[in-house]
Amino acid sequence: MFVNIIKSYRNVVAVCDKELIGKRFEEGKFQLDVKENFFKGKEVSEEEVLRIMKNMKLEDSTFNIVGKKAVNIAIKAEIITEDGVGNIANIPFALVLM
């Protein structure tokens, strides 16, 4: 998985499943573009992603999460619930502003 932490007045944490990098998904008028320049940060283990998400949650960060593994870890970290997950072309995603 990839994690990219973009530092600003409110940190943005972009997390995605490795195999989705650089791909674009469309469904009707909706699209999900998993751009490398935004999502491709450091490649880390699922355990590390969980640790990062829990820590960044305490910092009132914004989260952009794409992919089944990434979404499941965000649920485990209590950043989102299953009700907060969207799907485009069967790819789950969540956007969170803490």
Angle between helices 46-57 and 68-76 (to 10 degrees): 50
At residue 8, the pLDDT reads: 87
Domain residue ranges of the chain, discontinuous segments joined by +: 2-97
Q: What is the CATH number of domain 2-97?
A: 3.30.1860.10
Q: What is the pLDDT along the chain (98 residues), one digit of tens a residue?
A: 999 999 988 899 999 999 999 999 999 999 999 999 999 999 999 999 999 999 999 988 999 999 999 999 999 999 999 999 999 999 999 999 86
Six token digits for residue 40: 């491709």
Q: Per residue, what are the HEC states of 34-69?
A: CCHHHHCCEECCHHHHHHHHHHHHCCCCEEEEECHH
Six token digits for residue 27: 């469904």
